[in-house]
Amino acid sequence: MAIELTDLALPSEVLTRIQERKQKLTAEDEFLIGKGGYTAEEADILEDALIALALGKNVLLKGPTGSGKTKLAETLSYLFSQPMHSVNCSVDLDAEALLGFKTIAEKNGKQGIEFVSGPVINAMKKGQLLYIDEINMAKPETLPILNGVLDYRKMITNPFTGEVVKGKETFGVIAAINEGYVGTVPLNEALKNRFVVIDVPYIQGESLRQVLKTQSQLQDEKLINQFVQLSGDLITQVSNGHISEEAASIRALLDTCDLALYMPPLRAIKRGIIEKLEDEREKAAIQNIAETLFE
């Protein structure tokens, strides 16, 4: 069941602020609103993110791969009924991908140069949400361009047009990082300082069971419970430092559950979880855990 604002313990002032942000939306805007569906083990993850955004703060979701950061961002967009403009960071990310680009366009039979605005400018001007995924994948020299956007000024001088753009009151930023992951760089302190940080760990137990039931095709209760147990055991091994964190990814577990509809669970675990890892000892450790649960 999708979480609604009324399910959360939010101060009335925050609820009022959220209501006040509601805008008249075009069909295109509606398309950009997230579908919701994040299942929280602790409601305070959602509550704190909502409070921070309602107060005009930027939110940084920090957690391992496949822990539901994007799902959480989509759920925030859903709960705010606010469209979300997304940027996916990579080493190739440049100012154009963030702000937009100039192009030649025809207007009234005449050719001219036109600026096509990108996600940052769109979200600022429309007063909507901006989601910057894998922000620590970007080259450190690209991101300072956002410093003014992310502090109280909510402002940027568009280097392509010279226009000074001021973010509307309801403009908000959610970013996600996956710390320590290959290809990432530690987030610059000045940048990190501009965010309220929310940890997004892998969910476990009953909330995980709900996610597997609603998002995987597997419906066999016994098998689902065994996969929840497997995930719990993997997380214990992660905290003991025996296997790497991504082995417990919920994304990988969902793939594994889907495969287990059509093949024996041990084979599904091999394809969905074990083969993704490089280290032979880690692979053997997970194989052992799986064998004790599924044979």
**Any contact of residue 178 with ligand ATP (CB under 6 A)?**
yes
Q: Among 37, 56, 127, 232, which residue interacts with ligand ATP (rule: CB under 6 A)?
A: 37
CA distance from start to end of the chain: 33
Q: How far is the CB of 118 from ligand ATP (least distance, A)?
A: 20
Choices 52-60, 69-77, 117-125, 219-227; region in contact with ligand ATP by CB under 6 A:
69-77
Beta carbons of 162 and 118 less than 8 angstroms apart: no
H/E stretch holding 131 reads strand 129-133
The span from the CA of 149 to the CA of 151, in Å, is: 6
Stretch that binds ligand ATP, among 28-36, 61-69, 135-143, 266-274 (CB under 6 A): 61-69
Q: Which is nearer to ligand ATP, 21 or 62 (CB)?
A: 62
Tell me the window of 16-24, 58-66, 91-99, 139-147 that interacts with ligand ATP (CB under 6 A): 58-66
Amino acid at 107: K
Q: Does 86 bind ligand ATP (CB under 6 A)?
A: no
- Cα atoms in the 13 Å half-sphere on the side-chain side of 50: 32
The residue number with the shortest CB distance to ligand ATP is 68
Between 158 and 178, name the residue whose CB sits nearer to ligand ATP. Answer: 178
Interface segment toward ligand ATP; rule CB under 6 A; list 18-26, 36-44, 161-169, 187-195 = 36-44
User: At a CB cut-off of 8 Å and minimum separation 6, what does 147 contact?
Assistant: 190, 191, 194
Q: Of 60, 130, 129, 149, which Cα lies nearest the Cα of 88?
A: 130
CA-CA distance, 58 to 96, in Å (whole number)?
22
Q: Three-state SS for 197?
A: strand
What is the closest distance, in whole angstroms, from the C-beta atom of residue 224 to ligand ATP in the complex?
14
The answer to whether residue 34 forms part of the interface with ligand ATP (CB under 6 A) is no
Cα-based distances in Å from 107 to 102, 110, 118, 186: 15, 5, 20, 45
CB of 222 to ligand ATP, least distance (A): 22
- What residues between 238 and 277 interact with ligand ATP by CB under 6 A? 250-251, 254
Give, as one character, the DSSP assignment of residue 277: -
Collapsing DSSP states into helix, strand and coil, what is residue 172?
strand
x/- mask, ligand ATP, residues 187-226, rule CB under 6 A, reads: ----------------x-------x---x-----------
Q: Is 172 in the site for ligand ATP (CB under 6 A)?
A: no
Task: Using the minimum distance from each CB to ligand ATP, give the nearer residue, 39 or 237.
Answer: 39
- List the x/- string, 132-151, binding to ligand ATP by CB under 6 A: --------------------
DSSP label at residue 183: T
Q: Which of 21, 52, 66, 243 binds ligand ATP (CB under 6 A)?
A: 66
Binding of ligand ATP by 184 (CB under 6 A): no
81: region left, alpha or beta (phi > 0 left; psi from -120 to 50 alpha): left
Report the interhelical angle of 221-239 vs 250-259 (nearest 10°): 150
Residues in touch with ligand ATP (CB under 6 A): 37-39, 63, 65-71, 176, 178, 203, 211, 215, 250-251, 254
